[in-house]
Amino acid sequence: MTEKLTVMLYVIIGLVMVLIALIVVNRRIGSWMTEKYGKTALEKVLFVRGGVCRNQVIQVIREITLQRLSDEEALDYFLKIKGLQVVGLTGPVGYWMRRYLMTGTRARLTYFEQVKFYEAFLNFVPQECHQSKTEYTSLSTFPLTEATQELIRNPSLMRTLAFTGTGD
């Protein structure tokens, strides 16, 4: 009788370990698949013209953040923010795209960077990505002031201004 209980105990422990391993592997593979399939589907919706538009968007975001973000982080931020705004308007949303959009962005933008991002891409239309120099290819239509650039470079200044009351 005790031999059967010992065998049953080993079987149960083995099954629990296999179950835990499957959960860990599934999460890692699931996040990789979400990234791969969701990002691809979203790029097809947002970048109808392909690489030209994609490169222009990355260039503008890198200008906004003063080269702080990598291309991958900039693209991830754009896809998730604009994807949430545009995706419901273009048709049904697939499982992978919805799952990708519900994950957080890799990069965090400061308040001033977010404002410039929305100014740059507020009227972004996926079908119209221009190849000439337009509002999507440069920040020259709304250059940053020196004070704003300094606050972007050094966010602790904003906290200092807020505590001292000299931010007026």
Domain count within the chain: 1
Structure tokens of 15? 């099954």
In the prediction, which pLDDT does 157 show?
56
Domain range for 137 is: 2-164
pLDDT digits (tens, 9 = 90+) for 75-97: 899 999 888 888 766 667 888 88
Specify whether the CB–CB gap between 148 and 115 falls below 8 A. no
Identify the CA nearest to 105 among candidates 69, 133, 55, 140.
69
Confidence of residue 162 (pLDDT cuts 50, 70, 90): very low
Query: Whole-prediction pTM value?
Result: 0.63
Name the least confident of 1-5, 41-45, 72-76, 148-152: 148-152
66: left (phi over 0), alpha (psi -120 to 50) or beta: left
Say which residue the tokens 């975001």 belong to.
61
